[in-house]
Amino acid sequence: HLLLQESGPGLVKPSETLTLTCTVSGDSVKSSSHYWAWIRQPPGKGLEWIGSVFYTGSPYYNPSLKSRVTISIDPSKNQFSLKLTSVAAGDTSVYFCARQASRITMIVAAPFQYWGQGALVTVSS
């Protein structure tokens, strides 16, 4: 049974770096069949894809966030993480980690099949 759990500070000051970790149980982040992703949702608003990472290969990032985002995998802890630098009030959101479904081709295009419960991060001084 696959579980994803986000963890990290719920409050970050403007201009600082937001760091979140997604702990995976029931699967390995070294899987050759899945991408792992971060998605966010500002309060009362829609979903925004942040980026997707594969155990081997370069991650894909949302161009609007690319200069500030790093997503990485830590196989020793079976986790993947999100770093977002120079945050501002507009980065206040619920942040979800997710595992994309497996498929044979274009696996990065697979739907977000499993989701964490989400973590609210507020940017405020």
Using CB under 8 A as the criterion, which residues of the chain lie in contact with other proteins when the complex forms?
A: 37, 39, 46-49, 52, 60-64, 96, 101, 106, 108-113, 115-118
- 């993480």: which residue's tokens? 81
The least distance separating other proteins from the CB of residue 104, rounded to whole angstroms, comes to: 12
SS3 content of the chain, % helix, strand, coil (to 5): 5, 45, 50
The least distance separating other proteins from the CB of residue 16, rounded to whole angstroms, comes to: 26
Task: CB nearer to other proteins: give 49 or 55.
Answer: 49
The least distance separating other proteins from the CB of residue 45, rounded to whole angstroms, comes to: 8
The least distance separating other proteins from the CB of residue 39, rounded to whole angstroms, comes to: 8
Task: CB nearer to other proteins: give 57 or 76.
Answer: 57
Task: CB nearer to other proteins: give 77 or 103.
Answer: 103
The beta-strand segments (E) located in the chain are 3-7, 11-12, 18-25, 36-41, 48-53, 60-61, 69-74, 79-84, 93-100, 112-115, 119-123
Contact by Cβ (8 Å): 42, 92: yes
> CA 75 to CA 86: how far, in whole Å?
27
Task: CB nearer to other proteins: give 105 or 125.
Answer: 105
